[in-house]
Amino acid sequence: MAGERITMDLSHDRFVLDFEEIHGSGVAVVGGKAANLGELMRVDGVHVPPGYCVTTHAFRRVLAHAPALDGLLDALSHLDPADRDPVAGLSAEVRATVERLPIPDDLAAELTRPLARLGEGTAVAVRSSATAEDLPTASFAGQQDSYLNVVGPAAVLDHIRSCWASLFTERAVTYRLRNDVDHRRVAMAVVVQAMVFPQVSGVLFTADPVTSDRTVVRVEAVPGLGEALVSGLVDADAWTVRAGEVVDSAIATKKVAVVASPGGGTEAEQVGPELQDAATLTDGQVVALAQLGRRIEVHFGRPQDIEWCLAGGEVRIVQSRPITTLYPVPPNEDGGNHVYVSVGHQQMMTDAMTPLGLSVWQLTTPRPMAEAGGRLFVDVTGHVASQAGRTVLLDTMTTSDPLLGDALRTVLDRDDFLAAPSPGGSAAPLAGAFDPIDADPALVEDLIAGSRESLAAVARDIGEHHGADLFDFVLEDFQELRRLLFDRRSHQVFMTAMDAAQWINDRMRTWLGEENAADTLTRSVPHNITSEMGLALLDVADVVRAHPAAVAHLRAGGDDVLDRLSEVAGGEEVRDAIRGYLDEYGMRCVGEIDISRPRWSEQPAALVPVILGNVDTFAPGESRRRFDEGRRDAAAKEQELLARIRELPGGEQKTVETKAMIDRLRTFIGYREYPKYGMVSRYFLYKNALLAEADRLVLDGVLDDREDAVHLRFQELHEVVRTGRADRELIRRRREDQAFFRTLTPPRVLTSDGETVAGAYRREDLPAGALPGLAVSAGTVEGRARVVLTMADADVEPGDILVTAYTDPSWSPLFVTIAGLVTEVGGLMTHGAVVAREYGLPAVVGVQDATRLVKDGQRIRVNGTSGHVEMLEGP
């Protein structure tokens, strides 16, 4: 019977199905747990304790006689998962309602009749099997209840009802709210399975659940029932198996075991002293379990989290579910080992991108990138094939992001993953070779003028193209965008600036013992479009401040607050100032490298809190005052450094060299942000045109919603426009994938084995308890930490220190208010670092788990010179 497919007969809405009658396609009727048990019955060599499933038809029949639940479920769906008290109270009310529901006599008889086949008085386990549970992209393990050692029909019925009610436990409801699962879409089936009374129980993972490494199997075991492991009552023995061998093990002290209680249920009993430190399994048994796990993994086609028990020398499998926390692996054609480096950690965009966003980025880059989990990665395997290439890559990565560099080194130091690099060889810098150039302001102005002229041309012409012709126009324009982004002169400008910054920092450290000297020198440089954006919003605040009625109107809020400005005194002038700002910067937004993200021009009300904060905090003319102050500080720093250098041996020559480097730095570093500004400006033009086509597709009935378009790649959307036909099932799957990808945390380094490598700081110079990071903007500041996860939630005051996952240019308006910056992601030349130096803010980036470890309102000290964060007191 192994491997044979059995089709469930559901034509009569059956209330009970034996495991042998169930297969994986029946999740809507039997739930995830029962569907997987039915599949396990078909795997050769797998022994599953017998049992049956109470289907969702029984659940729905009983709940159909409880109309009061409709209002409760409506109220439940509108709760915020973060509001624990309302969630707990309403969940308890729903549970109590379900537990009081009567089970009709005919249904009760049908639900307990199969117990006779298991044997009179046989103890059973009664477990929930929800329809949104144990699915390939969302395991709900532990979100509903299970009951062990249940004896007799009456007790079984009671526990079936309890399982139904467990669909509405506080943690299950919260889980659904956080993962956008409709409470009405899920239903509860119940598994009734013969109990096994094992000597040893445990779990095995066919991939490492922490690192995602698909080449290892993790086995964990405890004496007695597995409830002791699941509940955390005892530490488990643990083994790691690779290629059929135990490669690591840790044997725990196990003082307690959970066993069946004579009167039903379970109880804890003491483990004998002679067994407490003894291994629960032999290495041979562990390897056999790993092999069994691989067989189950092959059947399901994905890594599995498997519950097992050992009784009378035989392994019984009581559950298998997908491991849903694993990071996806990029496909590769040669089947060999590969190493991938995250693009998002360098672009300050670690959120999942849409298919349209990914494909537009791929059309922008000079060479294809790997994709996994809605993120982009660079396959660096070829870069590290030679020793020279490996050295350049490691040096570059370590300088820009020490965590990324350490993670990469961890993989490359392994003898068995990649072939040893060929000796010698040559390797150009990753950013490409360049010849430094002397300071020339006219060159920067020429590059900016050329970019603006090109952008104006596409803005003028794109409106003349529609349908499939529009896509041809955009594809052709990508060539112009790439020309601008990878222009040799443009590359020379910002690479010269970066080279000058490094030269200055290295020489000042060696000659004068001063760290990060270039930071102050980059304040108030010309042509920094990102810092100008923050200052320009101060100018908008000056206009708003002059009109009290408009200020009051903006405080009243509302999505249409800007549209109604003309109704109040001074409103038109305020509206014109905001519109002028949006004309220049409205294409920006959080996660702006994804073309599908909503832009400020599409959601202008998002800027109102920042504008009002500037109105309340600053005096008129703050923008000019700050810029002038930064320019004076930079000039004073330059004079100070040059004066000190003249006093050194060979000081005159060193002074000449340093002055030339300072001139290069201040002339060119501002341009560093401009190519991305030009790219994002172009993306906004593309987006508006593409969404106009999507609107036409909606009118024609081809798409259900304009947002469907972002779940198609550029080429796929082109084909939909050309043919007038869309694959709605593909779009639905893409939406589900996107929801899943948003739950993932992308790694800095990923291997083709699926292993995610985070990297670590290896420093011994930190104060006790300090969090290490990368120093990117010199200085030390103490203040109140404001932990902000999205800019829309930002509520910062002067003197606050912003703590967040990452910043991109859309965060720039906040930088005029804060006193310091801490981010989890970032490098020396990423957005937060560049703007922090421009504004003179001490900043530390790459602080792992900063938004979790630093509490909102806590007083902290940020040392942007040495690169660490200290917690001074609680919130």
- According to DSSP, the β-strands at 801-804 and 820-823 are parallel
Whose CA is closest to 93, among 120, 114, 66?
Answer: 66
Using left for φ > 0, alpha for ψ between -120 and 50, and beta otherwise, residue 873 falls in: beta
3-state class percentages of the chain: helix first, strand second, coil last, to nearest 5: 45, 15, 35
d(CA 142, CA 134): 10
Output the CA–CA distances (angstroms, integers) from residue 227 to 233, 769, 859, in the order listed.
8, 36, 42
Whose CA is closest to 293, among 190, 208, 217, 187?
Answer: 217
Encode burial over 34-64: b for 16+ CB neighbours within 10 A, e otherwise.
bbbbbbbbbbeebebbbbbbbbbbbbeebbe
d(CA 458, CA 153): 75
Own/partner long-range contacts of 786-791 (Cβ < 8 Å, ≥24 apart): 786/818, 786/856, 786/857, 787/851, 787/854, 787/855, 787/856, 789/851, 790/590, 791/590, 791/606
SS3 205: strand
d(CA 428, CA 388): 9
Q: What stretches of 402-487 show up as alpha helix (H) in DSSP?
A: 402-412, 441-461, 468-485
Q: Among residues 159, 718, 831, 868, which one is catalytic?
A: 831
Give, as one character, the DSSP assignment of residue 242: E
SS3 125: strand
Q: What is the CA radius of gyration of the chain?
A: 31
Whose CA is closest to 353, among 686, 694, 591?
Answer: 591
d(CA 518, CA 863): 16
Q: What are the counts of helices (DSSP H) followed by strands (DSSP E) for the chain?
A: 30, 26
Q: What stretches of 301-386 show up as alpha helix (H) in DSSP?
A: 344-347, 355-364
Whose CA is closest to 299, among 24, 64, 100?
Answer: 24
d(CA 639, CA 508): 13
Beta strand extents in 187-250 (DSSP E only): 188-194, 200-205, 216-223, 237-242, 245-250
Whose CA is closest to 527, among 444, 628, 604, 585?
Answer: 444
The tokens describing 433, both together, are 């070779």
DSSP secondary structure, 755-792, as one string? -EE------S-PPTTPEE-EEEE--EEEEEEEE-SSGG
Q: Is 465 considered catalytic here?
A: no
Query: For 65, phi and psi rounded to 5 degrees?
Result: -95, 20
Place of tokens 């396609």: 25
Catalytic positions, please?
831
